[in-house]
A and B are shown apart, each in its own frame.
Chain A
Amino acid sequence: MNKIWLVIKREYLTRVRNKTFILSTILLPLFFIGFIFASAYFSIQSDSNQKVAVTDNNGIFKSSFQNDKSITYEFPSDVNINNFKQKGYSALLIIPKNYDFASDSISLVSDKQLGINAEEKIKNQINNAIRNKAFLQNNIDRKVLDSINKIDEGSIYNFRPVIKQGNKTEQSNSGLSYGIGFGSGILIYMTLFIYGAAVMRGVMEEKMNRIAEVIISSVKPFQLMMGKILGIAAVGITQLLIWIVLIIGLSSVTTIFLSPDSLQHVQTIHSSVGGATTGSSAAMNFLTAKNTFLSANWGLIIPCFLFYFIGGYLFYASLFAAVGSVVNEDPQEAQSLMLPITMPIILSFIIMTTAAGKPDAPISVWGSMIPFSSPIVMMARIPSGSVPVWQIAVSMLSLVAGFILTTMLAAKIYRTGILLYGKKVTFKEMGKWLFRKS
């Protein structure tokens, strides 16, 4: 036991002191934030400032098309399919002469894709125009139609989904639980790969440096393997804690920046006057965002996240160690040997994308029970609050049983593989090692 502790300590210290640890701890969240901003930026960028020329000879649409932030419609007479680009339009919408929506088709010509958002908006404009026309043709008063069109979804009614479990009811927020579920699923997916690969590389390093035999003459192979796995687990937990502290730190800094007084001030104004001034609306948004965020069931989510983070890692880490132990100098060999491990992880990710939206679909339930996929899939379901306790219990127990089993099997491969040099190992041979007595 003392020796395994020494191995854990070495693994932990050499990694935490390493520059790449410090860099990855800082860069990974930056990368995450950058990714979110970049995708937001590009989605805005793609449909901003598009000018669409419309050839509408009969003038059916001219009165009903409305410009918005991203798309402006113009109705020039001298534009055709060959020159719209030179005239500065990004697309040309051709309405046939004497348009009849039942038999004619409207075409949108552009030299490159406008993007799904822009196309959707143009289609909406056309739909509205046609609908308005139909209303007017059926003798509905123009004023009545305008007042109906002014109704903005959500402004005249309140929609409040409520979850009822037993005698406990709470407000549900599927958007938030989708976000948290998806986020934690991705986080576990990424950490499985990052730390699993770290275990594999560590084992390969020991094998290739030929230090494995020196160490194994002092400690048992199992101790060396577990020491490495647990050491890297400690590194992962450290990294996670640093991120949690950073998040709490950052959000409280923001709260101080928008001092609580001013927030309260905003709140009172909001409730008494019924509308916040523009200057304080950002602060207001932040407050609602924070309150919504805090409304999630963190008391359940955080412990479960830690459990599945560690359990999932332990389930896969020993398999990664086994692969590392049979690889020789050739990195490509590692790629092909890793395939049986990466496939179920990627498959879990795909199930997870469904489970975050439909936590009670059969595939989500099954995926969250089987230990191969449960760490990723269950974390996507839990924030919805609709997972029965027995399912969580079964999932956790099977994950624990699962990682004990994978560790035992992997240890058998590891013990033989780590001392085997210069020989390509097939899956068949590894299978034999599994059933061999010590």
Chain B
Amino acid sequence: MNILELYNLKKYYATQKAVDDISFSIPEGSIFGLLGPNGAGKTTLLRMITGIFYPDSGNIFFEGEKFDPVADIPKIGYMPEERGLYKKMKIGEQALYLAMLKGMGKKDAMKKIKEWFVKFEMESWWNKKVDDLSKGMSQKLQFVTTVLHEPKLLILDEPFSGLDPVNSNLIKDEIFKLAQKGTTIIFSTHRMEQVEEICDKIVLVNKGKKILDGSLIQIKNDFKEHIFKVGFDAIPARFDSNVFKIIDEKENYFNVKIDDGHTPAEVLQELLTQKASIISFNEILPTLNEIFIKQVEDTKTAREFSNN
């Protein structure tokens, strides 16, 4: 079952088409990546999913029914890219306030806040103000306030930006735990390498349009170029092959591109008949970054993006 389905969403601003006819669906319990460069329309899309903006046209279905911001918002947790907390408010009170705005009862909220504070070793912070916290500490607090009400759909916009590796891993672990418990998670980021290891399914957007949609494995297979990395004890002498071409050669390995109509087994066979001392043989799949650049090749975005 899909927790979220978007049909032909559009949101135009005076100067640009922020979201231009985007449709996709997110299966319940999946970890979903919403990817694209800055300014692709990710945040606008998320703001429509969280009920902050109304789409100009198109439909959103949440748990199979038409999205109703008032009723569905308590089931969604949203951590915007621009993090924000009241600087002068005490941390405990702040967490309680945000939880109650999501519709939690006071008792329930207190219990949950205490659990999370213990988990993140924040118990002693209760009466501190956000002003007194380090950046990493306030990021942790922000995460806690986002998940306190146990949302079914958790939306994280650039969740790891500004986090050190220790806190980054801490939060990543918690996200996995939530996913195991059945929470659907949307990651929105322009750092594609960050989500390759996490996401089951991705959607790639650029300039308000959807470019790619599918499971990560599926997409990588669709875009693979039949390139294999072959490692040797010693590089064999050069020879001509009608099965593959060597596209890159290093001290102890080379990358080969298999010609159309041939298989990896034929490559191995040919190499073995050359008595090459093979120690490794594996396929090189394109990274999401490469796929993205290939998709939007020769556009301005692509050039800017490959410079990053």
Alpha-carbon separation in the docked complex, A215 to B102 (Å): 9
Alpha-carbon separation in the docked complex, A7 to B86 (Å): 13
Residues in B with CB closer than 8 Å to A10 are 97
Among B50, B54, B85, contact of A217 (Cβ-Cβ < 8 Å): B50
- Which residue of the partner chain A has the closest CB to B85? A211
| Mask: chain A, 211-245; 1 = CB below 8 Å from B; 0 = not | 11111111100000000000000000000000000
List residues 40-86 of chain B with CB under 8 A from any CB of chain A.
47, 50-52, 54, 73, 76, 78-80, 82-86
Given known A14-B89, A217-B76, A218-B73, contact A212–B84 (CB-CB < 8 A): yes
| Mask: chain A, 192-217; 1 = CB below 8 Å from B; 0 = not | 00000000000001100111111111
- Which residue of the partner chain B has the closest CB to A436? B14
Given known A6-B97, A218-B101, contact A211–B86 (CB-CB < 8 A): yes
* A424 part of interface (Cβ distance < 8 Å): no
Given known A3-B101, A6-B101, A10-B97, contact A217–B84 (CB-CB < 8 A): no
Query: Of A7, A14, A438, which is in contact with the most chain B CB atoms at under 10 Å from its CB?
Result: A14
A212 nearest CB across to chain B (Å)? 7
List residues 98-121 of chain B with CB under 8 A from any CB of chain A.
98, 100-102
Among B80, B89, B97, B98, contact of A210 (Cβ-Cβ < 8 Å): B80
- Which residue of the partner chain A has the closest CB to B53? A419
List residues 14-35 of chain B with CB under 8 A from any CB of chain A.
14
* B245 part of interface (Cβ distance < 8 Å): no
Among B82, B86, B98, B101, contact of A213 (Cβ-Cβ < 8 Å): B82
Whether A217 lies near B98 (C-beta < 8 A) is: no
Whether B101 lies near A209 (C-beta < 8 A) is: no
Among B50, B52, B86, B100, contact of A6 (Cβ-Cβ < 8 Å): B100
B213 nearest CB across to chain A (Å)? 25
* B262 part of interface (Cβ distance < 8 Å): no
Whether A214 lies near B97 (C-beta < 8 A) is: no
Whether B85 lies near A215 (C-beta < 8 A) is: no
Whether B73 lies near A217 (C-beta < 8 A) is: yes
Residues in A with CB closer than 8 Å to B98 are 214-215, 218
Alpha-carbon separation in the docked complex, A217 to B78 (Å): 7
Alpha-carbon separation in the docked complex, A421 to B78 (Å): 19
Query: Of B73, B82, B101, which is in contact with the most chain A CB atoms at under 10 Å from its CB?
Result: B101
| New A-B contacts (6) at CB < 8 Å, excluding given A205-B87, A206-B84, A217-B80 | A3-B101, A6-B97, A6-B100, A14-B89, A217-B78, A218-B73
Q: B residues bordering A, Cβ < 8 Å?
A: 14, 47, 50-52, 54, 73, 76, 78-80, 82-89, 97-98, 100-102, 145
Q: A residues bordering B, Cβ < 8 Å?
A: 3, 6-7, 10, 14, 205-206, 209-219, 419, 421, 432, 438
21 contacts between A and B (CB under 8 A): A6-B101, A14-B86, A14-B89, A205-B86, A206-B84, A209-B84, A210-B82, A210-B83, A211-B86, A212-B84, A213-B82, A214-B78, A214-B80, A217-B51, A217-B73, A217-B76, A217-B78, A218-B98, A219-B101, A419-B47, A421-B82
